[in-house]
Structure 1
Amino acid sequence: MLVSHAAADVYRCREGGRIAFSDSPCEGSGERIKVAPAIGQGAPIDETSPSAGA
């Protein structure tokens, strides 16, 4: 099995009092953040939950 670990830069920016995330550097202030890839398949979906179809 061949596994590829893609790496990408992610930047956290402040825009108009809100926080935004981007794949390119922010204008003005912002910072590059380190993001680790997700591991595993996540939590199973409970299809009996009322919000499952939402």
Structure 2
Amino acid sequence: MKMDITKLKDEEIDQLISFLERRNITSFVKRNGETLLLICRSTSIRPARLELGIENI
């Protein structure tokens, strides 16, 4: 799964990566031009959005 996380604050990105790590989901951040992508093997990020209260992804 690729997610555009360009609009997230640094602390929100850290929280999101920590959330995925706690669930043993490996992820990494990649810059594609002006776009910042979070790439992981998860099929849905909805649980992270709900738990962390992040609206921008």
- TM-score, normalised to structure 2's length? 0.29
Specify the structure having the higher radius of gyration (Cα): 1
- TM-score, normalised to structure 1's length? 0.31
Greater helix share, 1 or 2? Answer: 2
Say which structure, 1 or 2, has more relative contact order (CA 8 Å, 6+ apart).
2
